Amino acid sequence: MKKTLKTVLSVMLVLATVLACIPMTAAADASGLIGEVQGNVPEMHISIDSGYSLDTIHASKEAKIRAHVSVEGSWDSAYDMASTGVEMKTRGNSTFGFMKKPYQIKFDSQTDMFGMGKAKKWVLLANYVDGSFIRNKIIFDLAESIGMAYVCKSVFVDLYIDGNYIGVYQLCEKVEIGENRVPLNHDWGVIAEMESAKRVEEEEFYFKTSVSGKPFVYKEYNTDFEETADAAVIEQVAQIKSFFEGRINELENELYNNGKDWAKVESLIDVDSFVQFYFINEFCMNVDATLASTYFYIDGPDDVIHMGPLWDYDRCFGSYDYANSGYEQGTEADFLKNITDCSDEYRAEWFKMLFQYPEFVERVNKMYSDTVKDAFDPEKINATIDAYESVLYNSLMRNYVDEGWAVFHNISEAEFFSDRTSAKRYLDYTVNAIKTNIINRKAYLDIAYGEHMPVLFYQQNGGRTYTGGSMTDRSTMTSFSMSLDGIIDGSVSYSATGASLAASSGSDGSAVRGDSIYTLKLALEGNVANYYSLKYRVYSNGAWSSWKSEGTLAGNRGYAIERVQARLEEKAAVVFGTVSFDAEGVDSISAVVGNTVKLPALPDGYEGWYADSSCSASPITEVVAAEGVTTVYGKKAVTVIIPGDLDGDGYTTAMDINIGKRLVAGSVTATEMQLAAGDLNSDGMFNGIDLNMLVRDVSGVN
């Protein structure tokens, strides 16, 4: 896999060098793109009304001014707009502090912009820290492609304020309740944001969760939260806030509860939206995930908690510097499961907790195979990037060179450019870095997730049960256990050494124990090892070891292990064969090639299963599934018919004569066996002639 990946990357670097010499002036062919690409970058003009100043809103996010907006030069003239009055303000948190400000405009009445649907509020994203300018747009496209609800639509515009070019912006829908936004209908419908503890005190309406203390800010609601003298409204607002806070805390209490009641979790959340959010953020390694800009909504007491809509992805696909974070480096990281290890304590551990439920792991693996794998196709994504960059090229050059806005690839790097040649060189570097990140990240997800991926469980010191990819909590390891669950035959074995532990081995959940454990050695056994490899590493003496695999020693004989991380990686696609049962009334089944299949019970009239069609070898009770069709044969029981033995006891007696009389009289109906035994003259029936012959036979008369 690594050799193949290096080859792909080498080709990409050569291709990138060639592309760097070609100006991006035309949109790429639309076939195979993940999103619809606009035809050009139209101009949006904002004229500040008399008596107002742009400096006013640049000084404070709370300040608002009046202005007029018009649009011209759209790829469809129907999208052009005559001068229309708006209220204008700045927005953002960290982005508010940058030189290139993000804005919000609010029309006096609902207005449709570029066919995105009518609404009053629209956001102008500056994308200041994203030199490519396309990270947010690509993420929105990907979210839509995997079926997320209420994905923000957007278009690129060249922004002019009072006739001065300000730069290229992304005109975007605001995350809010509305018919064309998030259509919540219940009076208690709420959109809330998981916010950073560093800045939550700036918010008026928020609460902190009862277990982790993570802040949630009320962002949108169907009932007005503003101050009012109306006692009824005040009471209703209190009830809404109590309801939403209670529902979030109910979920968090269950997530952090070692009882692990999946039915309870499933009753509280829209599981698919959580899985979709997970994959988008895991794929792009978004550093803001569960820190801030992480939205949830619920449409009243009868609804469940949904994750979304997505927001704020300018620091993803390699944009963030992990060098000093203490977190696993590179694109083969289990990112969101271990997000609190990323850089600080302000992120929530919700996904680490969710991955302790095997049912959630199974949903994740199933969705990856069904939807996500195809949607995250690097060829399609990178073709879309080329198309967007082609449309944006001239605007970006003006943005970088004419206006002097910084270009970022990594948030720790910034440059200012005096000419388009150097600006384009840096743009190409940034875009190609994103593309390489996408290729590498997809290569890892393909081997880490899939419908048939077994679930790996492990425990340190008898605490929480972790699943593959999760880092255990930090404590001196005195016991360790691991087990495996899935449709593929096999198990995991392990051994440990320590200060007072010469060598202790375990498998399938049995624990190895010692005063402290210094080294671990893990391995897969059985059929599962044909399809997956086991990777693991340990943390001791202040550092993580390198990744180990299949029976390699992890750890240092002089230091106790404090944490462990393990995961499965696919090394061959799971192959299914068919086991065909050659017996009446027994269906064929599909089975993993290499798995042992227990043979089903045979119907009446059969004496056993055999591997050969002649049924001459020894009978079998199980078979190993092979590629194609594996057939086992049911051998019919041999029935010995004794002439005249109508009761089947092996003899002809007076009892058989009595049965024969009733058969001839028609008081009972003959069975197949009785017909075969009673047809003494071989004419195909049992009648008085046969009965007379039976009487003579029993009495001994010739």
Residue keyed to tokens 């590493």: 537
Instruction: Say how far apart CA 27 and CA 394 lie, in whole Å.
Output: 12
Q: What pLDDT, on a 0 to 100 scale, did the predictor assign at position 414?
A: 57
Instruction: Say how far apart CA 570 and CA 456 lie, in whole Å.
Output: 13
Asked whether 313 and 139 are in contact (CB, 8 A), the reply is: yes
Three-state SS sequence of 369-424: HHHHHHHCCHHHHHHHHHHHHHHHHHHHHHHHHHCCCCECCCCCCCECCCCHHHHH
Query: How open is the CA angle 55-173-428, to the nearest 5 degrees?
Result: 80
Q: What pLDDT, on a 0 to 100 scale, did the predictor assign at position 254?
A: 94
Asked whether 685 and 664 are in contact (CB, 8 A), the reply is: no
As a whole number, mean pLDDT of residues 578-601 equals: 95
Quick check: 77 pLDDT over 60? yes
Instruction: Say how far apart CA 453 and CA 570 lie, in whole Å.
Output: 8
CA 666 to chain centre: 70
Instruction: Say how far apart CA 349 and CA 448 lie, in whole Å.
Output: 20
How confident is the model over 114-170, as pLDDT tens digits?
A: 999 999 999 999 998 888 999 999 999 999 999 999 999 999 999 999 999 999 999
Would you mind telling me the total number of residues written for the chain in this entry?
Answer: 702
CA dihedral for 603, 605, 609, 610, sign (positive or negative): negative
Q: What pLDDT, on a 0 to 100 scale, did the predictor assign at position 345?
A: 61
Q: Which residues contact 320 (CB under 8 A, 6 or more apart)?
A: 285, 287, 410, 411
Residue 617 phi, psi dihedral angles, 5° rounding: -80, -170
Instruction: Say how far apart CA 392 and CA 23 lie, in whole Å.
Output: 11
Full set of structural domains in the chain with CATH: 18-448 (no CATH), 455-570 (no CATH), 576-636 (2.60.40), 654-699 (no CATH)
- On average, the pLDDT of the chain sits at 87
Task: Name the CA dihedral angle for 93, 98, 100, 104, rounded to a multiple of 10 degrees.
Answer: 10
Q: What pLDDT, on a 0 to 100 scale, did the predictor assign at position 522?
A: 94
Asked whether 414 and 321 are in contact (CB, 8 A), the reply is: no
Whether the full predicted model's pTM is greater than 0.75, yes or no, is yes
Query: In the numeric block, which tokens belong to residue 518?
Result: 């210094």
Q: What pLDDT, on a 0 to 100 scale, did the predictor assign at position 288?
A: 87
Q: What pLDDT, on a 0 to 100 scale, did the predictor assign at position 203?
A: 67
Instruction: Say how far apart CA 98 and CA 389 lie, in whole Å.
Output: 23
How confident is the model over 323-363, as pLDDT tens digits?
A: 444 455 578 889 999 887 755 567 888 999 999 999 999 99
How confident is the model over 162-196, as pLDDT tens digits?
A: 999 999 999 999 999 999 999 999 999 999 999 88
Q: Which residues of 444-461 are buried (b: 16+ CB within 10 A; e: fewer)?
A: bbebbbbebbbbbbbbbb
Q: Which residues contact 14 (CB under 8 A, 6 or more apart)?
A: none
